[in-house]
Amino acid sequence: MKIALAQINQTIGDFQKNTQKICSYLERARNQDADLVIFPELAVTGYPPKDFLDIPSFIDENLKALNHVVNHVSGISAIVGFVDRNKRRHGKLVHNAAAFIQDRKIISVHHKSLLPTYDVFDECRYFEPAHQISPVKCKDYMLGISICEDMWNDEGFWTRPLYERDPIENLISQGANVLINISSSPFAVGKHDKIRLRLLTHAVMKHKVPFVYVNQVGGNDDLVFDGNSVALNAQGSLIAQAAAFQEDLVVVDIKSPSVQIQPRTYSDIETVHMALIAGLRDYVIKCGFQKVIIGLSGGIDSAVTAALAAESLGKENVIGALMPSQFSSQGSIDDSVALSHNLGITYEVIPIQEIFATCRKTLEVEFKGTSFGIAEENLQARIRGNILMALSNKYGYLVLTTGNKSELAVGYCTLYGDMSGGLALISDVPKTMVYELARYINREKEIIPHNSLTKPPSAELRPNQCDQDSLPPYNVLDGILKAYVEDTRGIDEIIQMGFDEKVVREIIRKVNRNEYKRRQAAPGIKVTSRAFGSGRRMPIAHNFMCS
């Protein structure tokens, strides 16, 4: 049986374009003599639809769109993700579902059993779990159709499974001899090679049946989906793999077990680079923008943000704004200009010295008797933020903020200043990874000026300022942050990893006390195992220090 893996990029709620795309891929698969074409989880609606699922008309439009797809399924079978109504008198109103379609008819509907409520997922909020599951016959095979999380609960793979039941085991026990999983599995660095592919291989080796996995691709808000759809034969060998971070259609014959391919492998920094480019492109396009504007400081963060934007959107759609003050070094200005020339982007120079002087003059009575400090430093950042937002309002640009995860974690950023903007592109990228990205961007030629890579990081808001005046070295800071934020380790555990106790306690104190800033930050693109935002939900007001 020839199976087509239709790895598509949907827009949430754009039923017309989503169904057009599904029908287009149906036709392409049929033209390649596929017997079955498989689409991702919630292919009709896009993922994640969130509270749109509470709106009856959204469910109605989704069902109309599915019917449109059904009418195009002839000469081929299809599996399509959609939202189904719960026909029982109790429970949530809808199911996360997959329709198995043949000859312009829905032959069977398969509901998602396991509904994740961790990290960025909140599916119990909306969906009723499956009340029963069973395979369906297609040609000479019994297809065990599952949806995303349903394949993530093998007790032989996990030390502590999250759920009491295993839908894959259930399908196998009912005679399934081909496993199929449709997914909307977000990207995190290392996830595909180190977890997802290992999990699929484990299931195949355990059950001795082929496994076809189809994941969506592209960005929706803070999530990026990497695709990487795969098929494995009954011996556990990879026989098909779709592209990473690109739409793709791959046709594989699961009856030809001798056909094997080598998995496409990428370094971690390559995948982060691809994820940020894809996430930015889709955020800009799906939100209706065309151009972005970035405040260029001459530092590594704004340089990496601008380079990513130019590659993602095209140099003609990126504008740099240089806003020097009396504390800006000539070297930083020169580095910003050099970067703009290297990227081929337009840039404007808008000095802020006079505005800053006017603000200080306006506040001189209120500030009388105080020395220059945080208030004056933040004034400069807020002046720059206001200028960027004014240009955004005037010309319709999307402002990209340039803060990294390390800064956001400890509050080394200014509300309504450098945090002002529509997308925080690298807000889930630790500072040490920002340098890795810069070196990757410069892998063939110098794009980011050498000075931006080598000079000590500085906000340049006061004379001779340096990040390390307020923070430990970034390799130390990022190690502590990963342990605390991503791995949820306590203070004692982190100290036992070799970090200084005083530094650990101070960093965790800063992380905890700056939750109020992060709650007001622009959305960012998730690339690590746990990002600030929907994947990490902490109270602002509390008095807990985890030991």
Question: First and final CA of the chain: distance in angstroms?
Answer: 56
CA 536 to chain centre: 14
- Alpha helical stretches, state H, 329-430: 330-343, 353-362, 374-395, 405-410
- Residue 191 labeled ligand binder: yes
Q: How far is CA 494 from CA 138, 140, 473, 507, 528, in A?
A: 53, 55, 16, 11, 19
Task: Report whether 347 contacts 296 (CB < 8 A).
Answer: yes
Whole-angstrom Cα distance, residue 508 to residue 546? 9
- Residue 455 labeled ligand binder: no
- Residue 333 labeled ligand binder: no
Catalytic residue among 2, 21, 61, 112: 112
Query: How many helices (H) and strands (E) would you count in the chain?
Result: 17, 19
DSSP tag of 128 = P
Whole-angstrom Cα distance, residue 15 to residue 69? 11
* C-alpha atoms less than 13 angstroms from C-alpha of 370 in its C-beta half-sphere: 12
- Residue 118 labeled ligand binder: yes
- Residue 422 labeled ligand binder: no
Is residue 155 flagged as an active site residue?
Answer: no
Is residue 444 flagged as an active site residue?
Answer: no
- Residue 298 labeled ligand binder: yes
- Residue 194 labeled ligand binder: no
Residues 6+ apart with CB under 8 A from 240: 5, 229, 230, 231, 250, 251, 252, 261
| Three-class secondary structure of residue 245 per DSSP | coil
Catalytic residue among 2, 123, 128, 148: 148
Catalytic residue among 2, 21, 41, 286: 41
Is residue 486 flagged as an active site residue?
Answer: no
Task: Report whether 230 contacts 241 (CB < 8 A).
Answer: yes
- Residue 71 labeled ligand binder: no
- Residue 219 labeled ligand binder: no
- Residue 442 labeled ligand binder: no
- Residue 295 labeled ligand binder: yes
- Residue 407 labeled ligand binder: yes
Whole-angstrom Cα distance, residue 98 to residue 383? 51
Whole-angstrom Cα distance, residue 212 to residue 200? 9
- Residue 392 labeled ligand binder: no
Residue 440: phi and psi, rounded to 5, are: -65, -40
Prior bond of 463 cis (ω within 30°):
no
- Residue 299 labeled ligand binder: yes
- Residue 229 labeled ligand binder: no
Binding site feature residues for L-glutamine:
118, 185, 191
Which residues are known binding-site members for deamido-NAD(+)? 378, 407, 517
Binding positions: 118, 185, 191, 295-302, 378, 402, 407, 517
Residue ranges at the known binding site for ATP: 295-302, 402
Which positions are catalytic? 41, 112, 148
